Homo-oligomer: A and B are copies of this chain.
Amino acid sequence: MSDQIHDYIDRNRDRFREELFEFLRIPSVSARSEHNGDTRRAAEWLRDRMKAAGMDTSIEETAGHPIVLGEWREAGDDKPTVLIYGHYDVQPVEPLDLWTSPPFEPVERDGRIYARGSVDDKGQLLLHVLALEAHLQTTGSLPVNVVVLAEGEEEVGSKNLMPFVKEHAERLACDYVVISDTTMVGPGLPTIGASLRGLSYLEVKVTGPSHDLHSGSYGGAVLNPATALARIIATFHDENWHVTVPGFYDDVDEMADFREAIREVPFDEDEFVADTGSPKAVGEAGYSTPERLWVRPTVEVNGMLSGYTGEGPKTVLPSWAMAKVSCRLVPSQDPKRIDRIMEDHIRDVAPDGVSIDVIRHHSGNAWRATLGGPLYDAAARALEQAWGRPVVYAGEGGSIPIVPEFEELLDAPVLLMGFGLPGENAHAPDEWMSAENFEKGTHASAALLTELG
């Protein structure tokens, strides 16, 4: 990146920080209708900020919170178009009493900027706008054509986003999509997201008697649905925590190359386990913890309910038992097929004497980055410039359904270039973003534009 742009970012460091704080002071909680005015105010603030940076801007209405667009298309037809996605809405803040300082009064402590939305996603969105400004205010232009697309419904399911993208496919046509809404593997380790897991979420209800029975008068003579459910769940894994549902691994891409790359990732397992509070790391034999999280599918119980769960004893033989069960998937597992084989398996292993109902809640595709190519090569160089060390390619155990959707709808590769850190409390009290990452992320974004130009 040119020294001129780099100097601009350094020179405006304090103002950029103050602008981030301004953005963070707007309580744009998309889930709470009492904050609808604030959420719109955040959209308008972002529009004005992009206009000040030198972009064409508009607020696009949806059935929910609006989408904000910032566009600059003067790089010429021979230059690529980059679509930068982010969101200006934030999670609710409850429980308020667990915040060290008020969630909408941003403050820096020990190199961390504490506020709701700091890392998820206002800080990570704004740094791109600041990088765009650094280019436009120093050179009068951008090395590439740019569209910034910011939604206000990411924390409530993004249900108006893809319909908007579909409807405006021509206007949003681009060569690359850049998203900064994930975390780095650790402090000082610039990270490119290489994979996301997909999801298949089922609810199983096992029904025995038509009503709760006395466990003395009836116990032993009819099947207990809680016992039956436990036996069903116990068939999901073997003693090595390998999933034993027939066909579960059929389409799994073993991703040997990515596993190879993962071995180089400086993943701090002790800190990871300490953060969970679990006694130890436990998972599928033959795989490391990062492999278990990033390249291996899982079956998890998310909830379980049956019979009497209050204080003390009650001698009931329950009428029914329920479990919420979700699978995290990897390429190339088809979530609809996994829904089906999970349901088939549950019905197959269910003991005789109960009936089974299965609800298929929702599902989403896994995603794997196609590493290499102009976008990823440019990002690797940009991040290395900002941090002074080579990038790490890390997976992500969770699911971001819009990533494969963007790729499909816009026919453009997506880059996950996140600047969060482990323990950042994204959906919890005391959310924070590393002040260093906010600055270096701005440099990296500016460098990425240069590298892509």
Contacts and interface: CB of A to CB of B under 8 A. Distances in A.
Interface of A: 197, 199, 201, 203, 208-211, 213-224, 226-227, 229-234, 236-237, 272-273, 276-284, 289, 292-293, 296-298, 300-309, 312-319, 321-324, 326, 328, 351-355, 361-362, 396-399, 427
Contacts of A213: 276
A398 B298 contact: no
A379 to B, nearest CB: 22
Contacts of A304: 226, 229-230, 304-307, 309, 321
Nearest to A352: B282
Contacts of A326: 215, 219, 313, 315
How many monomers of this protein are in the complex?
2
Contacts of A289: 221
Given A307-B303, A307-B304, A222 B281 contact: yes
A41 to B, nearest CB: 29
Contact of A296 (B220, B232, B292, B314): B220
Contacts of A398: 214, 216-217, 315
A313 B201 contact: yes
Contacts of A215: 300, 302, 326, 328
A318 B304 CA distance: 10
A300 B397 contact: no
Contact of A279 (B234, B300, B312, B355): B355
Contacts of A199: 216, 315
A334 B423 CA distance: 50
Contact of A209 (B276, B307, B314): B276
B399 A216 contact: yes
Contacts of A237: 227, 231
Nearest to A222: B278
A25 B173 CA distance: 80
B314 A302 contact: yes
Contacts of A352: 279-280, 282
B328 A219 contact: yes
Which 10 pairs between the two chains have the least Cβ-Cβ distance? A210-B277, A216-B398, A234-B234, A282-B353, A230-B233, A226-B301, A303-B307, A220-B298, A303-B308, A223-B282
B307 A302 contact: yes
A297 B227 CA distance: 16
Nearest to A203: B313
A273 B314 contact: no
Contact of A301 (B210, B222, B306): B306
Contacts of A312: 361
Contacts of A208: 278-279
A195 to B, nearest CB: 12
A19 to B, nearest CB: 30
A279 to B, nearest CB: 6
A237 B302 CA distance: 25
B313 A361 contact: yes
A324 B328 contact: no
Nearest to A323: B226
Contacts of A318: 301-303
A276 B212 CA distance: 9
Contacts of A396: 216-217
Contacts of A324: 307-309, 313-314
Contact of A302 (B211, B305, B308, B355): B308
A362 B314 CA distance: 11
Nearest to A314: B302
B293 A221 contact: yes
A300 B221 contact: no
Contact of A300 (B211, B219, B278): B219
B303 A303 contact: no
A201 to B, nearest CB: 4
Contacts of A362: 313
18 contacts: A215-B302, A219-B293, A220-B292, A220-B298, A220-B328, A220-B397, A221-B281, A221-B282, A226-B233, A226-B303, A230-B230, A234-B234, A278-B354, A279-B352, A303-B316, A304-B304, A304-B307, A313-B324
Given A301-B307, A302-B215, A283 B220 contact: yes
